[in-house]
Amino acid sequence: MKKIIRYIIGFIIGFISVFVIQFALTKIWSLAGVEWGPENLPVENIQKMAVLSSTFISGLIGPFISLLICKNSKWIIIGLFFLIAMSIDLYAVLNPLKELELWFKLVFVILIPIQLLLAIKLFDFFKKKTNLH
């Protein structure tokens, strides 16, 4: 029972951290003069790169945090992140981002498995270096 609660809490913390990191990175980009939002779609290349990089970083760190907390069952955690992230991103490219170029929407969706696999690699590296059990 304790393990299940740890997995649930670890997943929730990792999931929330994705949005917190995304929000923080959006504010940092805003300070640099690059802004986007529901009424301001990323149409300039710098906006697109900002969206993609912010999404990638937050989508890498959030699952990594979950894996650090849960320690085991990494494929279950990553599978949950994949299902939820793919649902959110598919909705985004079909609705709010539908006016943008196809290449942007493809990259937006293709980054999900890449960032999740990198989160696993980062976790495995960290686990090996720190003897995390």
Three-state secondary structure of 7-43? HHHHHHHHHHHHHHHHHHHHHHHHHCCCCCECCECCC
Question: In angstroms, rounded to a whole number, what is the distance separating the alpha carbons of residues 81 and 97?
Answer: 21
pLDDT, tens only, 22-39: 999 999 999 999 998 777
The pair of structure tokens assigned to 6 is: 């740890």
The structural domains of the chain, with segments of one domain joined by +, span 2-130
Examine the pLDDT at 14 and tell me if it is beyond 90.
yes
Mean pLDDT of 121-130: 93
**Predicted pLDDT at 133:** 66
Examine the pLDDT at 84 and tell me if it is beyond 70.
yes
pTM above 0.85, yes or no: yes
